[in-house]
Structure 1
Amino acid sequence: MDKKANGTSSPQLRINIPSTAKERVPSVDPYGFERSDDFDYESYEEFMSEYLAVLTRRSIKWSKLLQGKNRVEKNLKVKRYVRKGVPNEHRALIWMAASGAQQQLEKNPGYYHSLLEAQHDSKLVETIRTDLHRTFPDNVQFRKTADPCLQKALYNVLVAYGHHNKAVGYCQGMNFIAGYLIIITKDEEKSFWLMDALLGKILPDYYTAAMLGLKTDQEVLGELVKAKVPAVWQAMVEHNVMWTLVVSRWFICLFIDILPVETVLRIWDCLFYEGSKIVFRVALTLIRHNQAVILEARNLPDICDRFKQITKGPFVEDCHTFMQKIFTEPGRLSMATIDKLRETCRARIVAEES
C-alpha cells in the first residue's frame, strides 16, 4: 500500500482528532433531539462505547430470529429478546407485531386514509393545530424548516385518531406519544395503529375526559409503593403529597421528556410486548432505587424536587443496566395483582367523585 495514501508518513496530511468528547459526539442525537447545554458528553461516550457492542450483538440475534419475516411469535425466547432491547432497524416491526397493531392494519386496509379524506371536526382540528408547534421544540425534525417536516405527519395521525376514537378525540400528551411513534416507524399509518393499540388496549381510559384510567393507575402505584417501599409511602402521607403531583407526567407521557430517549425506547419495547405493568415496574424501580434521596425531603416542594432529580443521572442513562433493574428491583409483579388493585382504586375514585 502507498504510504502517502495511507497517511502514515505524508507531512501534508493532517488528521484532526477531536480533543474532547463534546467535539466527537454530535449536538443532535440519532432521533433528532438537540442535546441540552448540561449534557454530559464524557459519560455518554463512555456508555456508548460499551453499549454499541451490545447493540451489535442484539442486531445479529434479532436478524437470525426474524429471517426477513414481518411476523414474530410471542414466546419466552422473544420476550427475553425484547427485554434485552430491540435494535432500531427492527423496532417498528416488533412493536407492530407484539401489540396487535399489524393485525389491525391488515384487517382494515385503506381505513387510515379514509379517515384523512373524510370531513373533519373543525374544533378537533383547531385544538390539534394549537399543539403542533409545542411538540418537541428541541427536535430538528419537527421544525417547519425541516425537510420533511414531521409536523405534517403528526397532524395527520392525530386528526385520524381523533375521528377514529371519538370518545377520546384529542387530549394533551397524545401529541408526544404520536410524535415518538412517527420518529421510530417513519410511517403515518403504522403510527396510527400503534397509537390505537396503546390508547385503546394497553392504557385504556388514560386520555378520556375523566382520565379515570390515569387516576386509577396513579393510585395503584401508591398501593404498590405502600407494599414494596413503605418508608416512601409513609413520607408521602406525612407531607400530604398526592401521587398525581409527582408521577402524573410519568404516566401521561410514558416517560417521554422524563427519561433519556434511549431508555424510553427500551421501556416502550417492553410496554408493547408485555403491557401496562411495565410502567409500574419503571416507576417502582425509580422510587425504590432512590428511596434514600426521597426520604431526605423535608416538605412538599422538596419531595417534588426529589422526584424530578431521580429521573436524571447515570442510573437512568445506562439504559441496558436500568432495564435489567426494572425486572429485579420491584420483585414479583403480576398482571393479576395490578388488575385487583385497579378494581379497588377505581371503585374508590368513582365513589369519591360521585
Structure 2
Amino acid sequence: MQPAERSRVPRIDPYGFERPEDFDDAAYEKFFSRYLVTLTRRAIKWSRLLQGGGVPRSRTVKRYVRKGVPLEHRARVWMALSGAQAQMDQNPGYYHRLLQGERNPRLEDAIRTDLNRTFPDNVKFRKTTDPCLQKTLYNVLLAYGHHNQGVGYCQGMNFIAGYLILITNNEEESFWLLDALVGRILPDYYSPAMLGLKTDQEVLGELVRAKLPAVGALMERLGVLWTLVVSRWFICLFVDILPVETVLRIWDCLFNEGSKIIFRVALTLIKQHQELILEATSVPDICDKFKQITKGSFVMECHTFMQKIFSEPGSLSMATVAKLRESCRARLLAQG
C-alpha cells in the first residue's frame, strides 16, 4: 500500500492508541465507512431517547444498547444502567475522602508498579503527555483499594480502570463504574483466591462441552486447562485482546445485562473458529490458535460481531449460568 493511501487512516485512534505497524488500513477503512452510517443513525435515536433525562431499564433500551451506545453518551448510559450513578449520588464526597484516608504503602507500591505497564501504546498515558492519565489511574485504583479492602489491587484492574477513564474523562465516575464491575457484575474475580474467576473459566468449559462438543473433547484429550487459554479474556474483559471499539460495544452490554455477556463473546469466538481450533495437535498449538481467533476482520467489524454474540451461542440465561456456577464452584472448593 502506498504511503499516501496509508495516511487516510490516522496512526492514533480516537482513544489515544497507536495503531500497530501491521494494521490493515484498507480493511478498516472499508469497515468504518459502512459503520459510520450505523453510528450516525444510532446517535440520532439515542439523542431522542435521552431527551427525557434518565436512562430507564426497558426493552427499548436493551435493544438500543445491543446496537451500540454512541461515544458521546456512553459514560452517562454506563453510569445509569450499572447503578454507578445512584451509588455516586447517594455517597457525595466519598471518593475524595478515600483518597485522603490513611496511607497503605503496600497498596500504593503495587499500583505504582503497574502504571508504566498500562497502555504503553496509548499517548494519553505517557509521562510526556500533559495531562498524563497515569495520575488519574493511580487515584482511581488507590481509592478502590481503600474502598474494597478484601480486593485491594489486582493486576488486570489497571486495564479496566484505564478504559473507564478514557470513556468518562472523570475520576469519580471511573471509580464508581469500577465498583459496579468489580463489586457487583463480576462475582469474586479479583479477590486474592480469585474463586469467581476460576469458577467462570470452568463454567465456560461446561458450556463449550454442551454447545461445541468437538472443541470440548479436544481440550480434554490434550489436557488443556481453560485458564491457560482464556484467563486474560475474563480478567481484562477483552481489553488488549480484542479491538478497542469491539471491547466498548461488549462493555455496553456488560453494564446492562451482566456477566453472561462474557460467555456469549467467548462462545462466539470459539464457535466461529471451531475448524481452526480443531486443527490443533498439542497444548502450544491450542494456545496459539486461541491467540489467532482474537484477531482479524471478524472481531474488527464490531457491529456484525455483536449481532453474532446474540445469535451464535443460542439460548443462555442467567439462571443457566447461576446453576453452572454453583456446581463448578462446589467442585473447585472440594478440590481445595
TM-score class, shorter-chain normalisation, is: over 0.9
Letter of the 2:25 counterpart: Y
Alignment match, 1:268: 251
Kindly indicate whether residue 179 of structure 2 is the aligned counterpart of residue 179 of structure 1: no
Q: How big is the shift at 1:22?
A: 1.3
SS of equivalent to 2:238: coil
CA distance in structure 1 between the partners assigned to 2:52 and 2:166 by the alignment: 22
Q: CA deviation at 1:118?
A: 1.3
Query: What's the CA shift for 1:21?
Result: 3.7
Alignment correspondent of 1:331 = 314
Query: 1:31: which partner in 2?
Result: 15
Confirm or deny that 1:75 pairs with 2:62. Answer: no
| SS of residue paired to 1:207 | coil
- Aligned partner of residue 7 in structure 2, secondary structure: helix
Q: Deviations over 1:186-239 (max 9, x none)?
A: 000000000000000000210000000000000000000000000000000011
Deviations 1:288-324 (A, max 9, x none): 1110000011111000000000000010000000000
Structure 2 segments unaligned to the other structure (5+ residues): none
Report the TM-score, using the length of structure 2 for normalisation.
0.99
Amino acid at match of 2:139: N
TM-score of the superposition, structure 1-length normalised? 0.94
Query: 1:74–1:98: 8 Å Cα contact kept in structure 2?
Result: yes
Report the Cα distance in structure 2 between the residues aligned to 1:133 and 1:68, rounded to whole angstroms.
42
For residue 301 of structure 2, what is the aligned residue in structure 1? 318
Structure 1 residue 20: Cα displacement:
4.3
Unaligned 5+ residue runs, structure 1? 1-17
Check whether the contact 1:21–1:45 (CA below 8 A) recurs between aligned residues. no
2:105 matches 1:148: no
Change (3 A) 1:234 1:20: farther
Q: Once the two structures are superposed, what CA deviation does each residue of 1:70-127 show, in whole Å capped at 9, x if it has no partner?
A: x211010000000000000000000000000000000000000000111221110011
Name 1:15's counterpart in structure 2: none
Larger Rg: 1
In structure 2, give the amino acid aligned to 1:202. I
Amino acid at match of 1:66: L
Tell me whether 1:59 sits opposite 2:9 in the alignment. no
Root mean square deviation of aligned Cα: 0.9
Q: Percent same amino acid among aligned pairs?
A: 71
Letter in 2 for 1:154: L
Equivalent residue runs for 1:272-287 within 5 Å: 272-287=255-270
Write the mapping of 1:81-96 to structure 2, written as runs, cut at 5 A: 81-96=64-79
Distance 1:99 1:115 in 2: 21
2:335 alignment partner in structure 1: 352
In 2: Cα distance, 1:204 partner to 1:120 partner = 27
Q: Give the aligned residue type for 1:208.
A: S
Other-structure match for 2:83: 100
Q: 2:176 aligns with which of 188, 193, 217?
A: 193
CA–CA distance in 1 between the matches of 2:334 and 2:103?
Answer: 37
- Contact 1:120 1:163 (8 Å CA) reproduced: no
Deviation >3 Å, runs of 4+? 18-21
- The amino acid across from 1:63 in the alignment is S
What is the number of residues matched between the two proteins?
335
